[in-house]
Amino acid sequence: MTQEGDNFKTIRDEFVAQWGVMGTQWGINRTMAQIHALLMTSLEPLSTDEVMEELNISRGNAHTNLKELVNWGLLRIVTKKGDRKEYFEAEKDVWEIFRRISQERKRREIDPAMAVLTRCKESAAQMKSDEAKAFHDQMAELEEFVSFASKMSDRVSSMPHGKAIQLAMKLLG
């Protein structure tokens, strides 16, 4: 490998490692995020074996996380004529990555939380004790806030990139 190739690998490895750390903040595991980073920065689709070798992970770990990334809509399965292996390529459009992560997190985290808040609020609605009334009011407030935040997230993630940037500039300006 050339000096530039060594330098590039070092820089890429640093990015992949950091993306893995950030991924845990999105609600996905470190390996899943590292696989996403590797494929997002690859010029060509990679096979499971190539992902395993590059990240030094087991076949089971690679397979499970690749399939989960496909389920999230962050990877696509690609086939090559005459080759029986599956290859994977990442969504590279940053706005589309944001949209898909937002949608998946809403489905996995926000929607179930909303269901619990609504159920708790409704269950406490007819109770007479001061504690139950305070609990009901707190659940109603949380439900209203989470619903608002969810609708705002849906709205922003459904906007074209340029319009979302314009909105952000207005809000931040």
What are the pLDDT digits (tens) for 27-73?
Answer: 789 999 999 999 999 999 999 999 999 999 999 999 999 999 999 99
Mean pLDDT over 90-116 rounds to: 89
How many angstroms separate the CA atoms of 30 and 171, rounded?
Answer: 32
Q: What is the DSSP letter of 109?
A: I
Could you tell me the residue ranges of all domains in the chain? 3-90, 94-172
pLDDT tens by residue, 121-159 = 999 999 999 999 999 999 999 999 999 988 888 888 887
How many angstroms separate the CA atoms of 130 and 5, rounded?
Answer: 68
The reported pLDDT for the residue numbered 25 is 84
Task: Quote the pTM value.
Answer: 0.77
Residue-wise burial string across 10-39, b where 16 or more C-beta atoms lie within 10 A, e elsewhere: eeeeeebeebbeebeeeebeebbbbbbbbb
- Please check the confidence at residue 88 and state whether its pLDDT lies above 90: yes
**Considering the domain 3-90 in this protein, what is its CATH number?**
1.10.10.10
How many angstroms separate the CA atoms of 83 and 143, rounded?
Answer: 51
Q: What is the DSSP letter of 110?
A: I
Percentage of the chain beyond pLDDT 90 is 64
Which regions of the chain does DSSP assign to beta strands (E)? 46-47, 75-79, 86-90
How many angstroms separate the CA atoms of 71 and 142, rounded?
Answer: 30
158, two tokens: 């459904």
